[in-house]
Amino acid sequence: MTSEREGVVRRGHRIIVVGGGAGGLELVTKLGDKLGKSGAAQVILVDRSPTHIWKPLLHEVAAGSMDPNTHQLEYVAQARWHNFEFQQGELTGIDRARKTIAVSACVDQDGDELLPARELAYDTLVLAIGCVTHFFGVPGAADNAIALDTVDQAERFRRRLIAACVRAQNGRGRVGEDGRPRVDIAIIGAGATGVELSAELRNTAHVLNAYGLHQLDPRRDIHINVIEAGSRILPALSERVSAETTKLLHKLDVGVLTAERVTEVTPDAVLTASGKRIDADLTVWAAGITAPAVLRTLDLPVSRMGQIVVGPTLQSEADPDIFAFGDCASCPWPEQQTSVPPRAQAAHQQATFLY
């Protein structure tokens, strides 16, 4: 690992924000405007990706209704406009005694190293690295279902959807009882992500036309099922919202299966505890999240889900120089006697609190 002296010149109090997602990008931009510009502090963003995309847009990328290239922001450009520095790489460790973080090497698309593994010294460290999909150990889920954590995963889903439609139109896919070609999509988890994706997928008509798939009728030939283990969809929202949304999904011809616990995902089906087999050319897993594994290795207190435990000031219980917020933090919400939920809105409010 190379020393930071080779890449970054130290200037005054240094704030490192790791993770330029919904919360981190907002924070680092404001800190750059406020403290970087005046020289009161050196502000650095570390992210494993060179570009930012607002995660709640990923289901639109997956459905093919949004081109990610027109919505991605280059961190380097944002850094230049807002007086912070950008270091690409993945956080792999923290040395709290020396107040340094370890950042992985960074490779290009051909696998050639762009940047070596580095150590960066901080005075104040802010962790905002979000969360990852949790498959709960369901057999076949990690291999056969697609998660929607990154642009690459969303684009992979879109490519596979188009491929399944091309196969169906050309007689190489499944055929329904009505003799028509059919494409089956299973979405596991009826929280906001699963429900939004199912509705968005009904907008694929223009995407199919663009690929010359005129013989497929998106409404009739693309079958979408949302599968939920709980007794109703959108369990985090009120029963009324859940009931109204169920009606809307039915109007869109989206199948809603509740109280169906998924026990296995195979390459072409989803199996449930009640013995059902739901055909699936494509399966999306939107049934749970967990904290990135690296957080458990940092020697900081973490919640059961692996998030950094922070107090009301968003500082780690064990180290006041380390802050964490957004999905990767477990922050008390006394009014609700629970933790702040993992939402873009919460990450935004916490970023606002921090600057």
Ligand X SMILES: Cc1cc2nc3c(=O)[nH]c(=O)nc-3n(C[C@H](O)[C@H](O)[C@H](O)COP(=O)(O)OP(=O)(O)OC[C@H]3O[C@@H](n4cnc5c(N)ncnc54)[C@H](O)[C@@H]3O)c2cc1C
- Residues of this chain that bind ligand X (CB under 6 A): 18-24, 46-49, 52, 55-56, 58-59, 90-91, 128-130, 148, 192-193, 292, 294, 326-328, 342-345, 347
Q: Which of 164, 230, 168 is nearest to 194 (CA)?
A: 230
Identity of the residue, 99 or 182, whose beta carbon is nearer to ligand X in the bound complex: 99
Question: Residue ranges of the alpha helices (H) in 211-254?
Answer: 218-221, 239-251
In angstroms, give the least distance from the CB of 315 to ligand X.
16
By beta-carbon proximity to ligand X, the closer residue of 20 and 36 is: 20
Secondary structure (3-state) at 350: helix
Q: How far is the CB of 53 from ligand X (least distance, A)?
A: 8
252 vs 344, which CB is nearer to ligand X?
Answer: 344
Q: In the complex, which residue's CB is closest to ligand X?
A: 21
Torsion of CA 344, 345, 346, 348, to 10 degrees: 80
For ligand X, give the closer residue by CB, 45 or 208.
45
Whole-number minimum distance, CB 299 to ligand X, in Å? 16
Min dist. Cβ of residue 351 to ligand X (A): 8
Q: Which residues contact 56 (CB under 8 A, 6 or more apart)?
A: 22, 344
CB-nearer residue toward ligand X: 156 or 174: 156
Query: Which CB atom, from 306 or from 326, has the smaller least distance to ligand X?
Result: 326
CB of 228 to ligand X, least distance (A): 16
Sequential DSSP letters for 282-333: EEEE-S-EE--GGGGGSSS-B-TTSPEEB-TTSBBSS-TTEEE-GGGEE-EE
Q: How far is the CB of 194 from ligand X (least distance, A)?
A: 9
Task: Of 267, 61, 270, give the one whose Cα is nearest residue 164.
Answer: 267
Helix %, strand %, coil % for the chain, to 5?
30, 30, 40
